Each structure stands twice: as C-alpha cells, then as structure tokens.
Amino acid sequence: MVVYKNWLIHSCGNRLFATEMAEVNHPTVEIQNCSQEQAIDAFCVTDNSVYAGGCCKILTRLNPVGGSAGFEEAAKCTLPGHAYSLSGDDEKMFALVHTGQVV
C-alpha cells in the first residue's frame, strides 16, 4: 500500500482500491478496470501518478480523477517477470523483476 496526497492506495488480491483519508468516514472505492490476473504487491508513487505491479507481470499507471472518484487506469504494460519492487519518477519507472533484471 502507498499514500498519494490524501489517498491510501491498496490491493486485495488482484484488485486495487483507493481510500480517501481526508474524509471523516474514510470512504473506499475500487479502482475500476484495474484488476490483474494475480496478486498486486508492488507500488510506487510519483508526483502525478501511482504505479502498481505484481505476479502477473503487468505494470499499471494510475492517475487521479477529480472529486471522490479516486483513480483511473492511464496506461498498462507487460514486464518480463513478477515485479518485486518499483521506483522512479514521472519521466522513468524502474521495476526489479524476479529474473533479477531491472527494467
């Protein structure tokens, strides 16, 4: 899980959720159309986006949507392996995958 501004981004299995921490009751919404085939367990936050990856070799970029809608999928790509760790900024994103490569 990661924090992006007033949002807590977290996964449950292969689905992504956003919890608005600024609200009193902390409403949680599922991020639509962002589920993956297997568990999501790697996250990275940049100034303008949140990145999520996991066992199914998919890296997803999420962008915030105005209001209480949370986030939407902005881009998706396939990695050569399971993403163990993500790091980067708005220009470049790096993933350490289970093959030992940094891509």
Length of the chain: 103
Nearest to 82 by CA among 35, 38, 26, 47: 38
Distance CA(38)–CA(53), nearest Å, equals 10
Residue 56: predicted pLDDT: 85
Instruction: List the chain pLDDT tens, one digit each, 103 residues.
Output: 899 888 999 888 888 888 988 878 888 888 887 777 788 888 899 999 999 988 888 898 988 887 666 788 898 999 998 888 999 998 899 999 888 889 8
Domains of the chain, residue spans: 2-97
